[in-house]
Amino acid sequence: MLFRSVAECFRTPFSVASGPNTQSIARRQAVERESMEVDVVIVGAGPSGLATACRLGQIAQETGQEISVVVVEKGSEVGAHILSGAVLEPRALNELFPNWQELGAPVNTKVTGDDIFFLTGPEKAQKVPNMFVPKTMHNEGNYIISLGNLCRWLGEQAEGLGIEVFPGFAATEVLYNEDGSVKGIATGDSGIGHDGEHKPSYTPGMELHAKYTIFSEGCRGHLGKQLQEKYNLREGTDPQHYGIGIKELWDIDPAKHQEGLVVHTAGWPLTESGSPGGAFLYHIENNQVALGLITDLAYSNPHVSPFDEMQRWKTNPEIKKHLEGGKRVSYGARAIVKGGLQSLPKMTIPGGLLVGDNAGTLNFAKIKGTHTAMKSGMIAAEVLAEALKAGRGSDELTEYKDAFEKSWVYEELHAQRNFGPAQHKFGNLIGSAFAFVDLNLFNGKLPFTMRDTTPDHATLKPADQSKKIDYPKPDGKITFAKLDSVFLSNTNHEEDQPCHLTLKDPSVPLEVNLPKWDEPAQRYCPAGVYEVVEDENNGENRFQINAQNCVHCKTCDIKDPTQNINWVAPEGTGGPNYPNM
């Protein structure tokens, strides 16, 4: 009975009649939105948010404490927007559900082989001897998984523990109390046309008021971004740093399948443009491989196209041999947070917490973030339960900082804090050599901390000072076109809605970005969202935004050199629908 009224509010929408007074009615209804009060609202059903929810449910069952928890998720289902490599270090999962195997967690493929290659050119690859590999890259005891499927399973566990999980509802607004503390969130209205007018299907969003709100939106969460600015949470930290991960899933020839094999590469093709990054190829179950390229968004050449770099990478014989005779079955892209400890913001605010990748807990030295995200959420749950037990609410959970810094997550991030800055300062090859010395010989205890104070959007050189890149045409067998790839992501948005890719100044793309950087949005977007096209009527250029294609990777929000693009959540259920990613 605890959650029934919440569920009813979500599942029984009410409409506003259309007519000449639609806008005034909408304004009145926006003030009078349905609201519901709970103890905890969790924004985002990724690993950190669901771990928070599951642990709160466990504590409630173990102690008899009543804790009302609601999780809202903008994807059409839990897991629909989840994309990762992914190799899972099961430490946090072991702690959260020691009997996860009995419970049927989709964690089946244990790592059986671990190879690293440095690609020296389009036809060549050099295997790196294991003794020279930074120990963080070793994967003994880890598992190759679909993170989307793991999140689906975690969602089921959460519901079994009494948590209400609502996919298809995008949190679009942070609500505040009069004293400035977070009051909760509002979900987005639906049924608004592209012109801002209400359609007959208009349904107002709902307000969820909570004693505490947990923001677990993942990398570059748009509400988390607002909170960091409002509360100045980044004071004294390095800017956050990111990569763009582009992933494909293939069915391959069973004769070539080596279940459990993990392959990582560095070098070509990114070295041709001096761009940092690396790639992966994982043999999962069912004769499939998951593969992808991560382009560090600190790259400097505006002509770089991460999507096309990924396509080129697959043509190296060391990678191509796994794919020949196979079929690509899925595609997607997602930004990755990789700044590490030096870029971690303050995670507490009055009435709320930032957890997981929304804060930046990923350990890029391991190329893993699921275990750290989950643990950050589990710590949050412990702190929340104690605060609620004491009758608190809307205050700042300052004790979270102490609990986090006493955890193995902080210990891990601190030991590996220099990996990312070294990659940016020295490049992949020398940076990896530095990491070997730092981690293998000194165990992460070198007596200094490297800094990386240039934000990723500020690294681009002018286009006329950068080498143009002639990307080959796709062959339709190993390499593919961008729009054909987007089709495989099952991306869909309601077409008649306001554009969720907003421009602070509509003149900037053509008047600033185009002449200086050849408008890099045309290339850094992995979904063909941004185009500079010639107007058929007057022959002049215009900046076109194909928002329907957006896979919610957030790269534009990060890499736009003028920070003119602001990504906001579209209507709930919009975006990709990733299977097994």
What are the catalytic residues?
84, 334, 370, 525, 550, 553, 556
> What CA–CA distance (Å, rounded) separates 52 from 39?
13
CB 423 within 8 A of CB 276: yes
Residues near 274 by beta carbon (within 8 Å), at least 6 away in sequence: 299, 300, 301, 427
Residue among 192, 169, 234, 165 at smallest CA distance from 23:
192
CB 370 within 8 A of CB 147: yes
Q: Which two tokens stand for residue 226?
A: 């607002």
Return the amino acid letter for 454.
T
**Strand, helix or coil at 395?**
coil
CB atoms within 10 A of CB 132: 11
Beta strands in 125-256 (DSSP E): 125-127, 143-144, 164-167, 171-176, 182-187, 190-192, 198-203, 207-215, 242-251
> What CA–CA distance (Å, rounded) separates 222 from 226?
6
Q: Among all chains, which residue has been given the structure tokens 């020949």?
A: 324
Rg (C-alpha) for the chain, rounded Å, is: 23
Return the amino acid letter for 269.
P
Q: Among all chains, which residue has been given the structure tokens 């609410």?
A: 393
DSSP string, 20-56: TTHHHHHHHHHHT--EEEEEEEEE--SHHHHHHHHHH
CB 113 within 8 A of CB 262: yes
> What CA–CA distance (Å, rounded) separates 520 from 109?
39
CB atoms within 10 A of CB 495: 9
DSSP string, 269-301: TGGGGT--EEEEEEEETTTEEEEEEEEETT---
How many residues belong to the chain?
581
> What CA–CA distance (Å, rounded) separates 415 from 430?
19
Q: Which helix (H) or strand (E) holds 424?
A: helix 419-435
Angle at 87 between CA 437 and CA 315, to 5 degrees: 85
> What CA–CA distance (Å, rounded) separates 241 from 456?
6
Residue among 410, 418, 412, 335 at smallest CA distance from 379:
410
> What CA–CA distance (Å, rounded) separates 224 from 189?
20
